Every structure is written in C-alpha cells, then in structure tokens.
C-alpha cells in the first residue's frame, strides 16, 4: 500500500505545528506566535519539561490521526514517555479536545497563550501526563507500565486498538521487558489489539539506550523471537513520513485480518504474530542542531530543556528564536481561527479523537452482577467451629461471579501462577487460564479465551489490572502476600492516579481494584523468610487517603462478606488479607454485617463487661491466638475481666482523616478511656502504631504485637512464639499488666508467668524433637467461657 502524497504533506504540516506548540509550552510566557523579536521577557523564569521525545510523539500521533480518519477505527493512545506531555497536550489542543474539558484552551492565540503559560506552572498543567489529561490512563512518570496497561485496556474490548508508544529508555525497565509476552494471553476472538510502537531516539538523560544501539538485524531477530511481526521505520526526511503512513496502514489491516480469522473460528490454538513498529528518529528531531560546540539534536543533550539559559544568555536566546522560527508557525496557525483548514483535514471525527475516548475517560464503567453470600457461607452458630478456608470460599464465590457475568465479559482474575496454590481453583468450573500458545493434551485449565490471567510477573499483571479497571471493568488480583510487594511502587503510582481521577469532575467513576493477599507469612513457616513479608499493607496505607481500604476478615464467612462489599464499591483500592488453611468460624451473619458496617466489633462471647484490659485481634491467625490467650486467662485467672475487640478494617480505627471512619464512632466505646490495650496485629507493629499515633496515652496504654521478622523454617506456632504473637506471649503480658495495676495477686502472677515461659521453652524442645506442633496447639478449639 502506498502513502498518499497529499496526506503526507498534511501530516508534515501538522507535525510542524505540534512541534512548535510543544516547544512554546516549555519556553514562552509571551509573544506566542513570534510576531515580534524574541526578548528575554518572553521566556519563562523557570524552564521545565522534556523536549527530546516530543517530535517523535507528534509524528506518531499525527499518523494515527490520519489512520483513524481513513478507517474510522476506535483507538486509544498510551504514552510511555510521560515527560513528553508537552507533545500530548499540543495534540489535544490541536484536535480541540482540550477545550471540551478546559474552556480557556480555545483554538486560537488566546488558547495557545493559556496552555503555554500554564504548562509546568504552579497550579497549572504538570510536566507529565496526569488523570486531569483527557484520554489518559497512564501517567508514565515512573517508566515501564505502558505496554501492560495497553493490553489490559483491550481485554474484552473487541473493537478497540490501543496504540502504545514506548520509549527506548522505558523499554529497558523490568516491567516493560516482560510485558512483550502478554500478547500470548490475548485471544483475537474476544479482545481488541495492541499496536506497540517502540520509539528509538537513541538516548536517555545522559547516555545512549541499549535498544538505540542495537542493529536493525538484532531488533528484528529479538521481536520476531518474542512472537511479533516487526517492521522498522527510520529516517528524518520525507521518506520517513511516507514509510510510517504505509507501515501503519499495513499494520492496521494485519490486525483486522488476525481478528477476522479468529472470529471466523480459524487458528484458535496458536499465538498470532501481531504487528509491531520500531520507529527510529533523532532525539530532539527538528530542534537546535548544535549549541556551544556541542551536538544537540540526535544526542542526549536534547533530552530535557535545550538552551536552558535563553532568558539570560543572548547566544542561547538567538538559537532558540531561530529554532522556533524554523517552524514558520504563521503559515499554519492563525491568531483568530487557529489551525489552518487544510491541516485540520487530518483530524478524525470528534467521537473518534483519541483524547475523547470514552474508554479512557472513565465513561464505560460496567456494573458487576454479584451473587448473595448466603449460598457460600457455612454454619457458624457455635463460635470456634472449624470450617473451610477463607480462600476456598472466596474461590467458590468468584466462580459464581464469572458465571453471572459471562455475557457482559467484564470480570477478570489475575494471579501470578498461583490460582491453584491459593485455593481459588473453583473458578475453573466457569473459565480457564488465558493462553494462546500450544496447549498439550495433559495441560489443565488452559484456553485462548480463558478469563484468569496467569503469568509469573506481578508487574505485568498489575499493568493489566490497571488497564482493565481504568477502562471500566472489574479485576481481582490474588497473590502471595510476600510477593505482591514486588508491585508496591506500581500500586502506589496507581493510587496517586486514582486520587486525582476522583477529583477530576469530568472523569466517570471506575470499578474498584481489589487485591487478595494470601499465603500469609504466618503460614509460610515451611518456606521461611523469603515468603514472609506483610509490607504491602503498610505501603498502601501510609501514603493514601480514605479510598484505600485494608480488610482482615477473621474467618471464611466474613471474607465472603468483605469480598462482596469490595466488588460493590467504585473508585477505590481494596486489600483483603485472607488465609487458605482450615480455621474456626466465629461470627453469625448478623454480627458479620455489624462488623462490616463499623469496621470493628466487640465480640461479646469472648468478653466481660467493664473490662480490666482489652485484647484486640487484627487478622485471621492473630485473632485466633488472641482468643486462645483469653481462654488461658479465664482458665488461670478468672478474676481478670477481658474485652475482645476484632478489627476488620484497618482504616476504621482512624488512619488519616476522621472521614476514613465508616461510620464515625467513639474510640473509647471499644478500647475504654484508660485501660491497657494489647493489639495482636497481622503486619509489622509500626503499621498499626502509626494508626494509633493520635490517641492519648499511647505509650502507657497500648501494646502492639506483630510480625518482627523472626523465624525461618519452623512450625506455625513457633512462628507466633518467635514474633511474640502467640497465646502464651499475650497471656504473659496480660498477667504482667494486671499485676502492675493490682488486679492479679503478685505471687499468682509470678507463678503464671513462670508457667507459660516454661511452656515456651518446652514447645521449642518438642518441635526440635518431633518436627510439628503439639496436639494441644494444633487441635485447639474455642470453648465457651
């Protein structure tokens, strides 16, 4: 297919305008169309922004516009190099999308002045993409997430194409490097397509990129090996324009042919070779060629602000003026009418413009049909009855979610090769794991159209989840608790995006993203330190607002109620910490509903009125140990009156703003005004301590037990002993505190403390000899007190 000469010329003009507007945003605070000689006063006092990647972005965006205009296809645009925002905003301005959301961004000189003055300006537009940017589902400031997010966006969007521009510096990151393999999970029958465009301008901030220095032969071999059909477009003259136009057209038709064959039932059980474009253009293309005897264009020195001293250095000011004048903006942009009419002809219809995509702007959110939990709960009239594991019940519930939403196709489960291990395999009664490669006769639960996304890369799955949720569908990400920490930075970036998205009036509400953290460190005694790390909880709570919620269901029935609540919320991040071992059931449906509403609950069956001390459990295993401690206390020293408070939602006890409490309650109603309180917490003690910081008498009243990174390969109970969270540790501390305040006789306290310290020593000797915990621990059950 040959490029049209007329279209090519229009694209070239469009790119000239976009390049000029990109540079104007970085440099100018006046004289925006250079109608008079450039003076120092026209230059911003602080020059911020990244120029080097902008010309390539404008080049790609212009060609995509032409393709959309020609085909009428639905595209979204994902920009990997986030600091190329001046270019993205230039295009949104030129396509008249920006005005729809920012009325001052009119398509004339006044609008140009507005976006230039506001770029990288306090309370203006940031230097990178943000949720306040139309058409954006990726900020790109922290590099590497673009391709995985693009693949998430096209899942269950059969007509959508995600054009993903990947910088060659970004391509060196771990997340991006593994994201190339996601094409092998994409069924062409059910999903849309990603068109990766790897932009090789050759340089990072201060040196060359690895990809930029690879030969064409190496690049073709690499991406052919990844399973793509790569095409290289390179140059900087007229030929690169016509080559890009032709290559984009060919790539588009290949995508449609792959989809057509798949939807006709052909070639289902293999990975198609999707097109991929490798674009080579110079860094800082069309900018200043040389300055101070140093090469600028085509070198790392064009990465950020070129001529950064233009306001004070006459030589640099002259170089900047000559560069800006080279675009001859007066030929292409009128002060009153804006973009020249012939250049506007490249723009798609309004509803097809990438900045106006309903997929990207939060206007495609679907509703999830949820089953009632009563079909999955177990009898719990007698507290302490042993039941199924939380994860088994969750798996059964999620299977029904898949079933009820099979026609909408708006729900996915993501897990890094752990669906079986995490006891969620009940979902395979309704779906399979997505895989388009060769499927052997002995393989289990694999299919091209599977809705469970498994890959041994938490990073790639996090990107998939973000792309899927931000385009309006629902995702649950289940992972070993210790290894979800791999995506802590990605999740933090997502939370920042979500915070601003929630405040951006024109963005619609989004489905919540729900994490399930299981294979808890408290039951990873057989794997040791490598599998023990509750740090993700802390990472997510310490920086974010009320929309980040962490739940610690104490039993399987409560886990079901929490899961349904999480899948009913919008624009939140939910974290459920759940176990996969057989554990007691504690609460009736009525009490579960009450605790879910309040976030915490006094368990009357384990509590005395007017307590001398309060014990609080946070987490399934920690709650069990706290209740076992209460049983010891009531057996050994019934004169001690104890209250037990279970905390289900960590934010419910006042993390951050008071508004996080849902509903608002009086802290003292649960924890008294002056009695000692011992918390047995699932995570690191300091995580809970920061929650309690603002409460009075914290040093005197509160004691927090939690994971302190003690204990490698051992037994489950010994792990509690080594970290000070066992029933024996808690009982000893209660005896000590009650002796201090005179509730417990001193001699009796001393005897009991010695007794249970001896039990700790005896336990160590027992497990060294027998390799397992004794029956009195392993088979302990709650007895009514």
Tokens of 529: 């330190």
d(CA 77, CA 357): 9
DSSP 79-124: ESSGGGHHHHHHHHHHTT-HHHHSTT--SSHHHHHHHHHHBTSTTS
Residue 650 and residue 537 in contact, taking contact as beta carbons nearer than 8 Å? yes
Q: How confident is the model at residue 80 (pLDDT cuts 50, 70, 90)?
A: very high
- Check if 5-348 and 373-584 are the same fold: yes
- 628 has pLDDT over 70: yes
User: Would you kindly state where each structural domain of the chain is located, as residue ranges?
Assistant: 5-348, 373-584, 599-778
Name residue 522's beta-bridge partners: none
Q: How confident is the model at residue 250 (pLDDT cuts 50, 70, 90)?
A: very high
- The arithmetic mean of pLDDT across residues 470-496, rounded, is 94
d(CA 766, CA 768): 6
pLDDT of residue 657: 46
Provide the CATH number for the domain formed by 599-778 in this structure. Answer: 3.40.50.920
Residue 424 and residue 486 in contact, taking contact as beta carbons nearer than 8 Å? no
d(CA 648, CA 550): 8
Helix 238-263 vs helix 5-27: angle between axes, to the nearest 10 degrees? 110
pLDDT of residue 544: 65
- More reliable by pLDDT, 535 or 147: 147
- The arithmetic mean of pLDDT across residues 337-355, rounded, is 96
Q: What is the pLDDT of residues 304-313, one digit of tens each?
A: 999 999 999 9
Among the listed residues 66, 47, 49, the one whose alpha carbon sits nearest the alpha carbon of residue 58: 66
d(CA 508, CA 773): 53
d(CA 631, CA 610): 18
Cis status of the peptide bond prior to 663, with omega within 30 of 0: yes
Residue 320 and residue 38 in contact, taking contact as beta carbons nearer than 8 Å? yes
Q: How confident is the model at residue 533 (pLDDT cuts 50, 70, 90)?
A: confident
DSSP 417-476: S-TTTTT-GGGGGT--EE--S---TT--SEETT-SEEE-S-HHHHHHHHHHHHHTT-EEE
d(CA 574, CA 284): 42
Instruction: List Cβ neighbours of 427 (8 Å cut-off, separation of 6 or more).
Output: 395, 398, 399, 402, 413, 419, 452
What are residue 411's phi and psi, to 5 degrees? -140, 135
pLDDT of residue 1: 46
Q: How confident is the model at residue 538 (pLDDT cuts 50, 70, 90)?
A: confident
Q: What do you get for the CA distance between the two ends of the chain, in Å?
A: 83
How many helices (DSSP H) and strands (DSSP E) are in the chain?
25, 24
**601: helix, coil or strand?**
strand
DSSP 511: B
Q: How confident is the model at residue 667 (pLDDT cuts 50, 70, 90)?
A: confident
pLDDT of residue 221: 98
pLDDT of residue 77: 98
Q: Which of 136-145, 424-433, 525-534, 667-676 has the highest mean pLDDT?
A: 424-433
Q: What is the pLDDT of residues 100-123, one digit of tens each?
A: 999 999 999 999 999 999 999 999
d(CA 652, CA 587): 19
Name residue 385's beta-bridge partners: 585
Residue 242 and residue 213 in contact, taking contact as beta carbons nearer than 8 Å? no
Class of domain 5-348: alpha beta
- 662 has pLDDT over 70: no
pLDDT of residue 530: 75
Q: With 0.85 as the threshold, say if the pTM is over it.
A: yes
Indicate the range of 172-181, 394-403, 681-690 predicted with least confidence: 681-690
**596: helix, coil or strand?**
helix
Residue 146 and residue 177 in contact, taking contact as beta carbons nearer than 8 Å? no
Which single residue is written with the structure tokens 């469009």? 14
pLDDT of residue 269: 58
Length of the chain measured in residues: 785
Among the listed residues 164, 163, 123, the one whose alpha carbon sits nearest the alpha carbon of residue 143: 164
Among the listed residues 38, 20, 37, 44, the one whose alpha carbon sits nearest the alpha carbon of residue 112: 20
Indicate the range of 316-320, 341-345, 430-434, 700-704 predicted with least confidence: 700-704
- 663 has pLDDT over 60: no
pLDDT of residue 109: 98
- Count of CA atoms in the C-beta half-sphere (13 A) of 266: 7
Q: What is the pLDDT of residues 709-733, one digit of tens each?
A: 888 888 999 999 999 999 999 999 9
Q: What is the pLDDT of residues 153-192, one digit of tens each?
A: 999 999 999 999 999 999 999 999 999 999 999 999 999 9
Q: What is the pLDDT of residues 148-158, one digit of tens each?
A: 999 999 999 99
pLDDT of residue 117: 97
Count other Cβ atoms within 10 Å, centred on residue 336: 8
Indicate the range of 121-130, 365-374, 579-588, 687-696 predicted with least confidence: 687-696
Q: What is the pLDDT of residues 579-627, one digit of tens each?
A: 998 999 999 999 999 999 989 999 999 999 999 999 999 999 999 999 9
Among the listed residues 20, 658, 717, 687, the one whose alpha carbon sits nearest the alpha carbon of residue 331: 20
Indicate the range of 26-30, 89-93, 658-662 predicted with least confidence: 658-662
User: Is residue 264 packed enough to be buried (19+ CB in 10 Å), middle (13-18) or exposed (0-12)?
Assistant: exposed
Residue 259 and residue 157 in contact, taking contact as beta carbons nearer than 8 Å? no
DSSP 212-237: GGS-HHHHHHHHHHTT-EEEEEE-SS
- Quote the Cα angle for 63-65-70, to 5°: 95
Work out whether strand 600-602 and strand 411-415 pair parallel, antiparallel, or are unpaired.
unpaired
Among the listed residues 734, 730, 761, the one whose alpha carbon sits nearest the alpha carbon of residue 749: 734
H/E element, 689:
helix 685-692
d(CA 453, CA 434): 6
CA 516 vs. chain centroid, Å, equals 14
DSSP 129: -
Phi-psi region for residue 679, left (φ > 0), alpha (ψ -120 to 50) or beta?
beta
Tokens of 514: 């729900």
Q: How confident is the model at residue 527 (pLDDT cuts 50, 70, 90)?
A: confident
Instruction: List Cβ neighbours of 572 (8 Å cut-off, separation of 6 or more).
Output: 498, 512, 513, 547, 548, 549, 566
> Average pLDDT, whole number, for the chain?
93
- More reliable by pLDDT, 696 or 785: 785
Instruction: List Cβ neighbours of 693 (8 Å cut-off, separation of 6 or more).
Output: none
Q: Which CATH number fits domain 373-584: 3.40.50.1980, 3.30.565.10, 3.40.50.970, 3.40.50.2000?
A: 3.40.50.970
Among the listed residues 301, 287, 196, the one whose alpha carbon sits nearest the alpha carbon of residue 236: 287
Residue 224 and residue 230 in contact, taking contact as beta carbons nearer than 8 Å? yes
CA 302 vs. chain centroid, Å, equals 31
Instruction: List Cβ neighbours of 223 (8 Å cut-off, separation of 6 or more).
Output: 180, 230, 276, 278
Q: How confident is the model at residue 338 (pLDDT cuts 50, 70, 90)?
A: very high
Instruction: List Cβ neighbours of 542 (8 Å cut-off, separation of 6 or more).
Output: 687, 690
- Quote the Cα angle for 316-321-322, to 5°: 100
Q: What is the pLDDT of residues 268-295, one digit of tens each?
A: 657 899 999 999 999 999 999 999 999 9
């Amino acid at each position: 297919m040959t490029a049209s000469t007329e279209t090519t010329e229009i694209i070239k003009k469009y790119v000239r305008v976009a390049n000029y507007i990109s540079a104007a945003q970085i440099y100018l605070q006046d004289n925006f169309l250079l109608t008079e000689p450039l003076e120092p006063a026209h230059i911003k006092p602080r020059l911020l922004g990244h120029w080097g990647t902008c010309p390539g972005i404008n080049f790609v965006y212009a060609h995509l516009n032409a393709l959309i205009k020609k085909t009428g296809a639905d595209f979204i645009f994902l920009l990997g190099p986030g600091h190329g925002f001046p270019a993205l905003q230039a295009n949104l301005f030129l396509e008249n999308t920006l005005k729809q959301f920012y009325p001052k961004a009119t398509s004339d000189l006044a609008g140009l002045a507005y976006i230039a003055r506001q770029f990288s300006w306090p309370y203006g537009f940031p230097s990178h993409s943000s949720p306040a940017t139309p058409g954006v589902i990726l900020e790109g400031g922290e590099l590497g997430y673009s391709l995985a997010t693009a693949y998430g966006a096209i899942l269950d969007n059969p007509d959508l194409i995600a054009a993903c521009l990947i910088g060659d510096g970004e391509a060196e990151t771990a997340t991006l490097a593994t994201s190339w393999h996601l094409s092998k999970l994409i069924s062409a029958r059910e999903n849309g397509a990603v068109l990766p465009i790897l932009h090789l301008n050759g340089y990072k901030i201060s040196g060359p990129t690895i990809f930029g220095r690879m030969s064409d032969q190496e690049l073709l071999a690499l991406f052919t090996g990844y399973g793509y059909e790569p095409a290289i477009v390179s140059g900087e003259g007229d030929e690169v324009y016509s080559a890009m136009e032709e290559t984009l057209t060919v790539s588009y038709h290949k995508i449609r042919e792959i989809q057509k064959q798949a939807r006709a039932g052909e070639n289902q059980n293999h990975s198609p070779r999707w097109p991929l474009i490798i674009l080579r253009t110079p860094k800082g293309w069309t900018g200043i060629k040389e300055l101070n005897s140093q090469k600028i264009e085509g070198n790392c020195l064009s990465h950020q602000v070129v001529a950064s001293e233009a306001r004070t250095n006459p030589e640099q000011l002259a170089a900047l003026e000559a560069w800006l004048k080279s675009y001859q903006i007066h030929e292409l942009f009128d002060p009153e009418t804006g973009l020249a009419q012939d250049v506007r002809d490249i723009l798609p219809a309004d509803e097809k413009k990438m900045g106006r995509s309903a997929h990207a702007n939060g206007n495609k959110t679907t509703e999830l049909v949820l089953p009632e939990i009563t079909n999955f709960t177990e009898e719990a009239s007698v507290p302490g009855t042993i039941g199924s594991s939380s994860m088994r019940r969750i798996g059964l519930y999620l299977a029904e979610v898949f079933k009820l939403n099979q026609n909408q196709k708006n729900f996915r489960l993501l897990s890094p090769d752990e669906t079986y291990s995490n006891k969620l395999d009940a979902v395979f009664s309704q779906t399979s794991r997505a895989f388009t490669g060769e499927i052997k006769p002995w393989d289990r639960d694999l299919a091209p159209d599977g809705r469970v996304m498994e890959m041994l890369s938490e990073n790639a799955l996090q990107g998939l989840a973000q792309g899927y949720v931000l385009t309006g569908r629902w995702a649950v990400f289940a992972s070993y608790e210790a290894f979800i920490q791999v995506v802590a930075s990605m999740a933090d970036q997502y939370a920042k995006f979500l915070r601003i998205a929630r405040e951006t009036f024109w963005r619609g509400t989004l489905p919540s993203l729900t994490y399930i953290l299981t294979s808890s460190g408290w039951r990873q005694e057989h794997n040791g330190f490598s599998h023990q790390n509750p740090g993700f909880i802390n990472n997510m709570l310490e920086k974010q607002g009320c929309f980040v919620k962490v739940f610690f269901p104490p039993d399987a029935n409560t886990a079901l109620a929490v899961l349904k609540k999480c899948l009913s919320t919008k624009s939140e991040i939910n974290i459920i910490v759940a176990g996969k071992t057989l554990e007691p059931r504690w609460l009736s449906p009525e009490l579960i509903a009450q605790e879910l509403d309040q976030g915490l609950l006094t368990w009357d069956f384990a509590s005395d009125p007017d307590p001398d001390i309060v014990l609080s459990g946070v987490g399934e295993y920690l709650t069990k140990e706290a209740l076992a401690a209460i049983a010891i206390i009531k057996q050994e020293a019934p004169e001690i009156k104890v209250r037990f408070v279970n905390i289900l939602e960590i934010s419910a006890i006042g993390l951050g703003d008071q508004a996080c409490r849902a509903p608002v309650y009086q802290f003292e109603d649960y924890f008294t005004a002056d009695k000692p309180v011992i918390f047995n917490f699932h995570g690191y003690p300091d995580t809970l301590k920061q929650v309690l910081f603002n409460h009075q008498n914290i040093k005197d009243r509160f004691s927090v037990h939690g994971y302190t990174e003690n204990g490698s390969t051992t037994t489950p109970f010994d792990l509690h002993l080594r970290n000070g969270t066992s029933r024996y540790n808690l009982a000893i501390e209660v005896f000590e505190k009650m002796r201090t305040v005179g509730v417990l006789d001193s001699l009796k306290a001393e005897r009991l403390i010695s007794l249970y310290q001896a039990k700790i020593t005896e336990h160590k000797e027992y497990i060294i000899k027998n390799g397992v915990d004794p029956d009195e621990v392993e088979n302990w059950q709650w007895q009514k007190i």
